[in-house]
Amino acid sequence: MSVNKVILVGRLGQNPEVRYTPSGAAVANFSVATNESWQDKSGQKQERTEWHKVVVWGKLAELCNQYLAKGRQVYVEGRLQTRQWQDKDNQTKYTTEVQAQTVQFLGGQSTGPGERPVRDEQPAAAGAPMGDPGSFTEDDIPF
């Protein structure tokens, strides 16, 4: 038995970027920041921010694009997946991403210059089926 499950609650680092595969499937990419704070041995408060790459497919990707904006707090549930590719210099590159299956839009959006406001009629959760990412080929990925 094995388990590959990720749960994050954090804030978007930028507005979602949505692209479409040649077959028409939507895919959204965004990053989520999570913070951890603690006191070190000397009693000083320490803080660390971790950034997580998130990928969302299908109708859920379109909902994320419509309702999420930089600074918005979200709950993300999914699994880790590592991709590899060859760059222009033929070097093998790797990236690890959260393939989101559930995204819930939480409160607490910060609005600043250049950020999209979230509409008042937003849903509390977007747990729509994301489609089967296994049905997409490498050629379908638009990045």
Least confident of 7-11, 14-18, 136-140: 136-140
How far is residue 115's CA from residue 113's CA, in Å, rounded to a whole number? 6
With respect to residue 79, please indicate whether it lies within any of the assigned structural domains. yes
Domain count, the chain: 1
Q: At 12, which CATH number?
A: 2.40.50.140
Radius of gyration of the chain (CA): 17
Find all residues with CB under 8 Å of 30, minimum gap 6, and list them.
12, 13, 14, 15, 16, 17, 54, 56, 64, 68
With respect to residue 121, please indicate whether it lies within any of the assigned structural domains. yes
| Stated pTM of the model | 0.72
With respect to residue 39, please indicate whether it lies within any of the assigned structural domains. no
With respect to residue 40, please indicate whether it lies within any of the assigned structural domains. no
Tally of CB atoms within 10 A around 73: 17
How far is residue 128's CA from residue 66's CA, in Å, rounded to a whole number? 14
- Phi, psi of 134, deg, nearest 5: -70, -15
By residue range, what is the domain housing residue 27? 6-34+45-140
In tens, the pLDDT along 101-131 reads: 999 999 755 544 444 443 333 344 444 444 4
pLDDT at 112: 45
The secondary element (H helix, E strand) that includes residue 45 is: strand 45-57
